[in-house]
Amino acid sequence: MSLFDSMLKSSESLFQDPVALDFDFLPKVIPYREKEQRYIATCIKPLMSQRTGKNILIHGTPGIGKTAAVRHLFKELEDETDEIIPIYLNCWQKNTSFKLIIEICEKLDYKFTHNKKTEELFEIVKQMLNRKSVVFCFDEVDKLEDLDILYMILEQIYRKTIILITNYKEWAVTLDERIRSRLALELLEFRSYNAAEIKGIMEGRIKYAFVPEVWQEDALDLAVKKTADLRDVRLGLSLLREAGNLAEDRASKKIEVKDIQAAIDKLSDVKIKSPEALKEDEQHILELIKDNSGKKIGDLFTVYKEKGGEGVYKTFQRKIDFLSRNKFISTKKQTGGPDGTTTIVKYERETKLDEF
Ligand SMILES: Nc1ncnc2c1ncn2[C@@H]1O[C@H](COP(=O)(O)OP(=O)(O)OP(=O)(O)O)[C@@H](O)[C@H]1O
Ligand SMILES: [Mg+2]
């Protein structure tokens, strides 16, 4: 009997349906977000009576159900009516107006996109969309490199709701006044989940993903506690998966505290988003931090300027904040030193691309 043979025989899987732990798996219900979903629905509601809808900026920290809530609502809308077309777009994956319009064509099943420019394609799309009402969702909208498509939609699509999602509410402030006044955005904050909500969500997922009763209670408690500390359900789900894999590797029939502890230890390797997706200047700053890890933010800014970096300190600070929230770096406030309060900036380890 080969080594693998025995491994396969000895390990009955602890997983029932591991797909339920995937980041883009859409649960049947999104608990604790009813209020937010209802609010989004009221912005869409005018479309049901042939009027135009309201536009919303959804903001909040990573991994707290912003995307899931909107995608869920879109699914319900699709089941409900043919008169309103929901179009979900991810601006991290498609970060230019041209890429987005191609994506919209694909969603509308229009295939003759070859050799056509953005404007030409928009003309075609417009004819199709203006027969009905449309809800656009631009997820991770701060990654969008040009706003042409938003202009075109605002000017040329008659009955619409535009939903923008970002981790950075401040992004809206950077918008050109003309686009800002046309958008007239309503703000909708998604707050972090509390510990009880995190527990509810994770137990819900476990029911789908794992064979019943493989989780020891104290192991699950630890997973919930860690996830509540991190305030990020996405990280919580990867902890569950990792712990399940570790328990399976040691041919255990139960997932124990030591599995979840080992998964937590590995967590510092897991980054949510890839450095490749950063803008040039952000990459430049990340490189700088890599070479100067542990320095004060003010000193980093000096080095940045010496190396030809552009912009004022406030902009630099915002970029540091951005890198920190995406977990490329960590920042720590230091009080009471000779310089008063300052921020220490540290580089975090390289992203493992295969881990997301
Ligand atoms: N209330 C919930 N019920 C069930 N699953 C949830 C809930 N909230 C979040 N999740 C799950 O957590 C993961 C992260 O959620 P989601 O992708 O919606 O985060 P997000 O707020 O859009 O984060 P980001 O800003 O990083 O894009 C997903 O797998 C999602 O299904
Ligand atoms: Mg999201």
Q: Could you tell me the CATH number of the domain that includes residue 200?
A: 1.10.8.60
Best of 28, 67, 73 for a ligand 1 pocket test (most atoms within 8 Å of beta carbon):
67
Best of 21, 25, 37, 64 for a ligand 1 pocket test (most atoms within 8 Å of beta carbon):
64
From 138, 169, 189, the end of a domain falls on 189
Q: What is the pLDDT of residues 200-213, one digit of tens each?
A: 999 999 999 999 99
Mean pLDDT of 238-254: 93
Mean pLDDT of 237-255: 93
Say if 50 falls within a structural domain. yes
> Given a cut of 50, is residue 353 above it in pLDDT?
no
Which tokens is 344 given?
Answer: 């220490």
Highest-pLDDT range among 48-62, 267-281, 322-336: 48-62
- Hey, whose CA ends up nearest to atom 25 of ligand 1? 62
> Given a cut of 70, is residue 9 above it in pLDDT?
no
Where is average pLDDT lowest: 33-42, 188-197, 229-238, 341-350? 341-350
Say if 29 falls within a structural domain. no
Q: Do 40 and 154 fall into the same domain?
A: yes
Q: Kindly report the backbone phi and psi dihedral angles of residue 220, in degrees, each rounded to the nearest multiple of 5, phi listed first.
A: -65, -40
Q: Find the domain containing 9 and state its range.
A: 3-21+193-267
What is the model's pLDDT at position 10?
A: 52
How far apart are the CA of 118 and the centre of ligand 1, in A? Answer: 32
**Mean pLDDT, the chain, integer:** 88
From 239, 267, 295, the end of a domain falls on 267
Say if 26 falls within a structural domain. no
Say if 356 falls within a structural domain. no
| 236 ligand 1 Cβ < 6 A | no
Say if 72 falls within a structural domain. yes
Distance of alpha carbon 126 from alpha carbon 156, whole angstroms: 7
**Residue 163, beta-bridge partner list:** 56, 137
What is the model's pLDDT at position 128?
A: 96
Q: Do 302 and 212 fall into the same domain?
A: no
> Given a cut of 60, is residue 352 above it in pLDDT?
no
CB 345 within 8 A of CB 295: yes
Distance of alpha carbon 179 from alpha carbon 150, whole angstroms: 8
How far apart are the CA of 304 and the centre of ligand 1, in A? Answer: 35
What is the model's pLDDT at position 274?
A: 60
Higher-scoring residue by pLDDT: 353, 337: 337
Question: What's the whole-model pTM score?
Answer: 0.76
Mean pLDDT of 135-163: 96
Say if 79 falls within a structural domain. yes
CB 335 within 8 A of CB 258: no
Q: Do 201 and 260 fall into the same domain?
A: yes
Considering its fold, how many domains does the chain have in total?
3
What is the model's pLDDT at position 19?
A: 85
Higher-scoring residue by pLDDT: 343, 67: 67
Please report which confidence band the pLDDT of residue 2 belongs to, taking 50, 70 and 90 as the band edges.
Answer: low
What is the model's pLDDT at position 351?
A: 40
- Hey, whose CA ends up nearest to atom 15 of ligand 1? 65
Q: Do 217 and 204 fall into the same domain?
A: yes
Say if 162 falls within a structural domain. yes
What is the model's pLDDT at position 256?
A: 97
CB 165 within 8 A of CB 139: yes
Q: Do 150 and 249 fall into the same domain?
A: no
